[in-house]
Amino acid sequence: MADNKMLIKFFVASESIFFIMLILAYVNFKGTVVDGPTAESSLNPYVTGIFSLFLLASSFTIWLAGKSLRAKNHTMMKVWLLVTIVLGAIFIFGQGREWAGLIEQNITISRNVFGTTFFTLTGFHGFHVCVGLIMLSILLGLALFGDFKGPRSDGVEVISIYWHFVDGVWIVVYSVIYVWAFFL
């Protein structure tokens, strides 16, 4: 178990560096947009904030899934895993809705520096959320087939670490893209 936790922590550290570079690119180019759409003129921090609450709530529900497993309450573990998946899916729906609205306004990855950095940063985050949703779905499937008998599971613990990482990254991304543009 310790090896699995160590490996996911190394993976999270490497992915953190990746996201730091994307965030720094966004910050570096933020003031260079002189023509075309910007975060201030294109995004709605309130709607995205509401969808963000679903993702942040999913950190709590994955924690409850692990807590239920430790208490050997396998039924509630399955329920909390399912709720985590639903909350993550709602977040992805919100991101897809935002992207579709931007594309309708001809704001694309190739439009200008804002489009390039915004779609790259949020796209890679969305990809990580989707990977997490697949892993959570596999966990739920294994749980439904009775794979988790004891009070501990490497799979649940490792995927929980990954999911908390994805949520933490979004807090930073939302702060840099939305809070900075609209409230600072």
Q: Which helix (H) or strand (E) holds 95?
A: helix 74-104
Query: pLDDT at residue 83 above 80?
Result: yes
Residue 90 falls inside a structural domain:
yes
> How confident is the model over 7-65, as pLDDT tens digits?
999 999 999 999 999 999 999 998 787 788 999 999 999 999 999 999 999 999 999 99
Domain boundaries, position 164: 40-183
Tokens read off for 2:
């310790």
Residue 73 falls inside a structural domain:
yes
Residue 111 falls inside a structural domain:
yes
Residue 34 falls inside a structural domain:
no
Query: pLDDT at residue 1 above 60?
Result: no
In the chain, the largest separation of any two C-alpha atoms, in whole Å, equals 59
> How confident is the model over 114-168, as pLDDT tens digits?
999 999 999 999 999 999 999 999 999 999 998 887 788 888 999 999 999 999 9
Residue 68: per-residue pLDDT: 95
Q: What is the CATH number of the domain that holds 141?
A: 1.20.120.80
Tokens read off for 10:
């190394």
Residue 11 falls inside a structural domain:
no
Residue 28 falls inside a structural domain:
no
Whether pTM > 0.75 for this model: the answer is: yes
How far apart CA 27 and CA 21 sit, in angstroms, is 10
Tokens read off for 139:
């966990």
Instruction: Report how far apart, in Å, the C-alpha atoms of 116 and of each of 15, 17, 38, 66, 151 are.
Output: 20, 19, 11, 38, 45
How far apart CA 155 and CA 147 sit, in angstroms, is 11
Domains of the chain: total:
1
Residue 148: per-residue pLDDT: 81
